[in-house]
């Protein structure tokens, strides 16, 4: 299972030239598109300076690593692994009807 993750969106909400909130999106992919084991999910997170998530600063001072650190990545990792397991690795197999069954007499 080759999992890749990429931040696909980071939108700062500013006040007095400082980012007060970040609205972020991260895409997870299992394997490559077209593979039988391909699966993808996009997670969203809002970090707010007033809630203590980060110290308000100029948006340009935030690196990719700093923005990623604002996201609950370990939780997302576990959720994604569980999704891949339930959809790809161990999908639920529905029961099959046996229309030929005859009621015993």
Is residue 85 one of the residues assigned to a domain?
yes
- How far is the C-alpha of 26 from the C-alpha of 17, rounded, in Å? 25
How high is the pLDDT of residue 41?
97
Q: Which two tokens stand for residue 11?
A: 């939108």
- Give the mean pLDDT of the chain: 95
Residue 41, exposed/middle/buried by CB under 10 A (0-12, 13-18, 19+)? middle
Residues contacting 62, CB < 8 A, separation 6+: 10, 12, 19, 22
Low-confidence ranges of the chain (pLDDT < 50): none
Is residue 36 one of the residues assigned to a domain?
yes
Strands (E) located in the chain? 3-15, 18-30, 39-48
Is residue 95 one of the residues assigned to a domain?
no
- Total structural domains in the chain? 1
The whole domain housing 25 covers: 3-89
């Amino acid at each position: 299972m080759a999992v890749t993750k990429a931040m696909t969106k980071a939108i700062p909400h500013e006040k007095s030239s400082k980012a007060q909130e970040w609205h972020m999106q991260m895409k997870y992919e299992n394997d490559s598109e077209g593979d039988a084991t391909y699966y993808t999910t996009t997670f969203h997170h809002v970090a707010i300076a007033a809630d203590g998530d980060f110290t308000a600063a100029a948006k340009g001072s935030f690196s990719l690593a700093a923005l990623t650190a604002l996201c609950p990545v370990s939780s997302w990792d576990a959720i994604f692994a569980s999704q891949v397991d339930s959809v790809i690795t161990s999908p639920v197999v529905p029961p099959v009807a046996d229309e030929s069954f005859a009621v015993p007499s």
